[in-house]
A and B are shown apart, each in its own frame.
Chain A
Amino acid sequence: MINLYSRLVWHNGKQNLFRVIEMSAMAVVNNRPFHRHTEQIRCIGKTIMVWVVRSGKDTLGRQETTRIVDPLKTTIIAPAKPAVPLINLPDEQLVTRSPYSYD
């Protein structure tokens, strides 16, 4: 993760976002929720930065390793979005092979 992160291009326009991302990484390490909202024009690399730092994923959504933590030392939260029950879904939504949703 550090390797990929250090390979990102740093410039003044991204400095605040880098700072916020590093703050959120520290918050995650300390099991503190940290909400961040980023607005900018398209295609300047906001999402790439978050992908790389979030969990070591590359832009294909793959990552090399994950860390299994002790649940007694972790705050368990639920996914935020309510799910439509399976019986109410149309046929084409019964199975989703790649439900990727990036920032």
Chain B
Amino acid sequence: MIDSLDSGLNRLSLVRLVPAVNSIGQVFAAGEGVRLGQSAVLSTKVHAFDSCRPEHVQVLVKADAGQIFYRRPNSGEICHLDIFHECAQVDHRFVANYVYQAISKYNSVADRQLELVCEGIVNPDFVDIQTAVGGGRITGNLKGGQKLSLCRVHENHVHVALYLPPTELSSLFYIVAAVEAALVDLGVEPRCNEGIFYVDSTDFPTGLNPYTDQTDSFLVSSL
């Protein structure tokens, strides 16, 4: 495993994460968003940001991420993470490798412990990524997400969408830590989110076409 990632993840003991995980559960139940660390925004909704104030993320409360991104029938199933950084062409394959290794480590740690409800059953096949370079399923060929408009809008953040069993919310911290570690190792500075706002309705004057591309995601099919 990558040394910088391994040493960082060793500091995130699952017991230490319990209060934070409980907060996330409350946030999901309320249909809200939350900041993880300083750079990441998490919700089950679609996010938007004002191009002039990218540090303020808008959570579109009536736009479920799973339904909008993957046309899934049920809402609230897909976790949506945006991890912000300085504008850069971030190699999605590099980040995907870090995320994959972090999930492997999480599954191993969670499987060994006996005190908590988590079982270490996060499936990396159900994790998608998108950066300004490209995207796709982290276990796939990562040749998707090449559309210019999609890449442009991801110049300042790494997008991660994933399906998690409800008992495995602790893994979100491993994933954020992995993305941040990858960014730092690439020489890209993570940047701070400074506000989350809730928006009731959305006007899509150009449609969602600029934000979509062909994908090999397994999140499209029913789980």
Which residues of A are at the interface with B, using a C-beta cutoff of 8 A?
A: 28, 31, 33, 54-55, 57, 61-72, 74-87, 89, 91, 93-102
Tell me the minimal C-beta distance from B51 to chain A in angstroms.
5
B184 close to A28 (CB less than 8 A) = no
Q: List the B residue with the shortest CB-CB distance to A67.
A: B203
CB of B199 closer than 8 Å to a CB of A: yes
Per a CB cutoff under 8 Å, which of B152, B197, B200 touches A71? B152
A76 close to B156 (CB less than 8 A) = yes
Per a CB cutoff under 8 Å, which of B9, B48, B194 touches A68? B48
Per-residue CB contact flags for chain B residues 10-42 toward chain A (1 = under 8 Å, else 0) read 011000110110011001000010111111100
Q: List the B residue with the shortest CB-CB distance to A64.
A: B200
Give A97 to B155 CA distance when docked, in angstroms: 25
B200 close to A83 (CB less than 8 A) = no
Tell me the minimal C-beta distance from B150 to chain A in angstroms.
8
27 contacts between A and B (CB under 8 A): A28-B52, A33-B52, A55-B50, A57-B197, A65-B203, A66-B58, A66-B60, A67-B205, A68-B48, A68-B208, A69-B206, A71-B150, A72-B148, A72-B149, A77-B54, A79-B194, A81-B191, A82-B192, A87-B8, A87-B180, A93-B38, A94-B173, A95-B36, A97-B23, A99-B35, A101-B195, A102-B195
Which of A54, A67, A79, A102 is the most central at the interface, judged by chain B CB atoms within 10 Å of its CB?
A: A79
- Top 7 nearest A-B pairs by Cβ distance? A86-B37, A79-B55, A83-B39, A83-B38, A71-B153, A81-B192, A79-B191
Q: List the B residue with the shortest CB-CB distance to A96.
A: B35
